[in-house]
Amino acid sequence: MDPKYQRVALNDGHFMPVLGFGSYAPPEVPRNRVVEVTKLAIEAGFRHIDSAYLYNNEEQVGLAIRSKIADGSVKREDIFYTSKLWCTFFRPQLVQPALESSLKKLQLDYVDLYLIHFPMALKPGETPLPKDENGKVMFDTVDLCAIWEAMEKCKDAGLAKSIGVSNFNRRQLEMILNKPGLKYKPVCNQVECHPYLNQSKLLDFCKSKDIVLVAHGSRTQRRQTMCKATGSLPKMPWVDQNSPALLEDPVLCALAKKHKRSPALIALRYQLQRGVVVLAKSYNEQRIRENVQVFEFQLTWEDMKVLDDLNRNFRYVAMDM
């Protein structure tokens, strides 16, 4: 089998390709571009595609997947597609309808993986980040275990082959793992993870519970925060120019030079060699093609140690609300 299609066994018997395509692009990117880049990603060899209700691109990602199936390039079972339950749909009776609405946009019969996007319930409704008249975010209170039971029903209904979580800490994972009558464990926890925030403690915990850690933001360049004015995903992310630029890190750059690969590729390879599944977003054809080269080289034990030492618990996506 082509190394590009390397997969990891999940704790429910399904398999996840270890390299995933990150499909998120901000709203100013034309939606037909989403269709083009998703097709390019599949053509380049990506078989795992990460999206979410929140990304407002499931129609286009679904169209791209179906068109690569229709032209005979792939079969549905070759593709691993992830969607995520947004925080305004956490009331247990809203969970399955939310997944059904994603499937309708995608025009697919099932998702391979459905994740709880972020462990913070928001007031139900159409607005992704609901605010009151004073501009304060309106939260909701829902028991994580009750959401999880609704997620389990989605798996039993065959709408999601696997279920998992995202942006959970150890305490939040334990709330689910310790739930009386737990039917399915989360297969993964998708979190921000890169050499400046390597999540080594959370990774050890996840490994001990047979939960895969999936890295997002593995090459994020500058700190971004959600747009406070619109209370939604930013038109232009507010970017902190004082945050350290991972891809300019001298140690990362020296390793890049040594291996004749880009710093971005070293940051991807680092995750694979420590048993982390890694997402790679790019909307640039050349970089999409470059990112699958992560399977073409190896870091030494010493390289890995040097990268581990870069950790500084620096979070690029500041959830400051």
- For ligand WDW, the binding residues (CB under 6 A) are 24, 52, 54, 117-118, 167, 226, 317, 319
Alpha-carbon distance of 218 to 233, in angstroms, equals 20
- The DSSP annotation for 224-289 comes to EE--TTTSSS-SS-EEETTS--GGG-HHHHHHHHHHTS-HHHHHHHHHHHTT-EEEEE--SHHHHH
Q: Tell me whether residue 225 or residue 273 sits nearer to ligand WDW (CB atom).
A: 225
Residue tagged active-site, from 24, 53, 55, 196? 55
Q: Shortest gap between Cβ of 210 and ligand WDW (angstroms)?
A: 25
Contact 16/277 with Cβ under 8 angstroms? yes
- 24 vs 168, beta carbon nearer ligand WDW: 24
Burial class (CB in 10 A: 0-12, 13-18, 19+), 205: middle
CA distance 203 to 173: 12
Backbone angles phi, psi at 239, to 5 degrees: -115, 125
Report the distance separating Cα 27 and Cα 133, nearest Å. 25
Query: Minimum CB separation from ligand WDW for residue 185, in Å?
Result: 22
Can you give the binding site for ligand NAP, defined by CB under 6 A? 22-24, 50, 117-118, 166-167, 190, 216-220, 262, 264, 279-284, 287, 290-291, 317
- Smallest distance from ligand WDW to CB 84, Å: 7
Residue nearest to ligand NAP (CB): 22
Eight-state DSSP code of residue 9: E
Which of ligand WDW, ligand NAP, none does residue 226 bind to, with CB < 5 to 8 Å depending on kind?
ligand WDW
Q: Which partner in ligand NAP, ligand WDW, none is near 264 (CB below 5 to 8 A by kind)?
A: ligand NAP
Q: What residues pair up with 20 in beta bridges, in sequence order?
A: 48, 279
CB of 148 to ligand NAP, least distance (A): 17
Residue with tokens 């420590």: 274
Nearer to ligand NAP, 24 or 148 (CB): 24
Instruction: Give the C-alpha separation, 145 to 184, whole Å.
Output: 12
Q: In the complex, what is the shortest distance from the CB of residue 278 to ligand NAP, in angstroms, rounded to a whole number?
A: 8
Active site includes 283? no
- The one-letter amino acid code at 11 reads N
Q: Which two tokens stand for residue 14?
A: 């399904």
Report the partner that residue 23 touches, choosing among ligand WDW, ligand NAP, none (CB closer than 5 to 8 A by kind): ligand NAP
Angle of helix 250-259 relative to helix 301-308, nearest 10 degrees, comes to 160
| Active site residue ranges | 55
